[in-house]
Structures are given as structure tokens and as C-alpha cells.
Chain A
Amino acid sequence: QQQVKQSPQSLIVQKGGISIINCAYENTAFDYFPWYQQFPGKGPALLIAIRPDVSEKKEGRFTISFNKSAKQFSLHIMDSQPGDSATYFCAVGGYQKVTFGTGTKLQVIP
């Protein structure tokens, strides 16, 4: 059973635009919701994470929006840049286990 469903599978955004990636989960016991960024040939790197007690967290151009009742959370990348082109993974979990989504390949075109 898939713990987290991520969409879209791929995304093309113009430079300066907003990139939005969505994830949905089922298990209400999850209490940790991170986003990872992976460049080709590299391992994933933690980008930003949120706990279910807040609805939004912002770090620079990256924002997580969290909707506990809908069991959904999303990553917003403001003022998207070509350097943001990468694969983004949402994940769900708790203290000792993190489960990843299937990934979204983002391409930011000039």
C-alpha cells in the first residue's frame, strides 16, 4: 500500500513562476512531512520539513502548505530558477522511519 501519493510526475515552469507539487497521505499517525531535492548523480537533500501542528512553513523561496483535515501537503517554489531544476520528493513519517513519494521532475525554463 502506497503511504504517500505525489503529483504531478513532471512539471515545466517558466523562470520566475511558481512551482507547486502536491502530496497526499492516509495514515494520520504521521507527524513529520519533509521535502527532499535530488539533482542527477546526487543523493536526496532535505529541503524543508513541517510538523502537523502548523499549517505553513516558509524558508526563503520554499514554502510547505499543510492541510491536516484533507491529509495533504504541498511544496511551493516561488520565483522558480533554472537552478531549481531537479527531482523533488515528499515524504511522510515519524521518528524512526521516513517513507518517500514517487518524485516530481521539475524543469525551470528560461
Chain B
Amino acid sequence: DAGVTQSPTHLIKTRGQHVTLRCSPISGHKSVSWYQQVLGQGPQFIFQYYEKEERGRGNFPDRFSARQFPNYSSELNVNALLLGDSALYLCASSFGDSQETQYFGPGTRLLVL
């Protein structure tokens, strides 16, 4: 069975641009959470979606938004990119709305120049 998949694997953008990251959860999983992992730090929670509804939001500016589609895949959008947005963006899926048993994808490495 396929695990959590994310695309693209790597991305280079310039300041002020917009980016869309994509995530496909494990088959049967209905919850997707997004995390930002800056080099040398632990993942920081951005959003959780369950059954297409936002269930939680971390301490990130409104430039960050997300949505979940009927097939439970998800997009993370970041507008007006800043240099500090350079990070590994991780998606995690779980069957229910709990973050306790979640499975992470390999991440999308974003570099903002």
C-alpha cells in the first residue's frame, strides 16, 4: 500500500511568489495535517483538516491557507513568500480526527530566494 505522498519533492521560488503544495493521504485516511519543519527544528503544526473541514490551525500568518478535497487529498497554499518560509513542508494523514496516530509523507523542500 502506498503511504502518504507529497508533490513536488523540491521547489525553488522567489520572494513574493505564491506556492501550492499537494498531499495525498493513505487510502482510507480522512484527516490531513500540515507541518513546517525548519532545518534543525521539530515540525511546527500549521493546519489540520478532517472530512474537508478545518479542525485546527497553528500560529501561522494568514498567508498560509489550505483545503481538503472530496477524495481527502489536500493543498497547502502560501502567498507572498518570505525568505523565512524556506523549510520542509510535511503532510501527515490519520484515519480519524486525532493527530495521535499519524503517518508522515516525505515532505516538500521549499527554498525561497
Residues of chain A at the chain B interface (Cβ within 8 Å): 6, 32, 34, 41-46, 49, 89, 91, 93-103
Least CB distance from A31 to B in Å reads 10
Q: Closest approach, in angstroms, between the C-beta of B37 and any C-beta of chain A?
A: 8
Question: For residue A49, which residues in chain B have a CB less than 8 angstroms away from its CB?
Answer: 100
Known: A43-B4, A46-B101. A96 touches B55 (CB 8 A): yes
From DSSP, what is the main secondary structure of chain B's interface residues?
loop
Instruction: State the interface size on chain B (CB cutoff 8 A).
Output: 23
Alpha-carbon gap, A45 to B4, bound state (A):
12
B90 close to A (CB within 8 Å): yes
Q: Would you mind naming 24 contact pairs between A and B with Cβ atoms under 8 Å apart?
A: A41-B106, A43-B4, A43-B90, A43-B92, A43-B105, A45-B104, A46-B101, A46-B103, A49-B100, A89-B42, A89-B43, A94-B100, A95-B99, A95-B100, A96-B55, A96-B56, A96-B97, A97-B56, A97-B99, A98-B100, A98-B102, A100-B42, A103-B41, A103-B42
Residues of A within 8 A of B70 (CB): none
* B65 interfacial by beta-carbon distance below 8 Å: no
B45 at the interface (CB under 8 A from A): yes
Distance in Å from the Cβ of A59 to the closest Cβ of chain B?
15
Chain B residues contacting A99 (CB-CB under 8 Å) are 45
B92: chain A residues at CB < 8 Å are: 43
Q: Which of A46, A93, A97, A102 contacts B41 (CB 8 A)?
A: A102
B98 at the interface (CB under 8 A from A): yes
Closest CB-CB distance, B16 to chain A, in whole Å? 28
The answer to whether B97 and A103 have CB atoms under 8 Å apart is no
CA distance A42 to B4 in the complex (A): 11
Query: Is the CB of B107 closer than 8 A to any CB of chain A?
Result: yes
Minimum Cβ distance to chain B for residue A89 (Å): 5
Minimum C-beta distance from B80 to chain A (A)? 26
B40 in the interface, Cβ–Cβ < 8 Å?
Answer: yes
| A103, B37: Cα distance in complex, Å | 11
Output the least CB separation between A52 and chain B (Å): 13
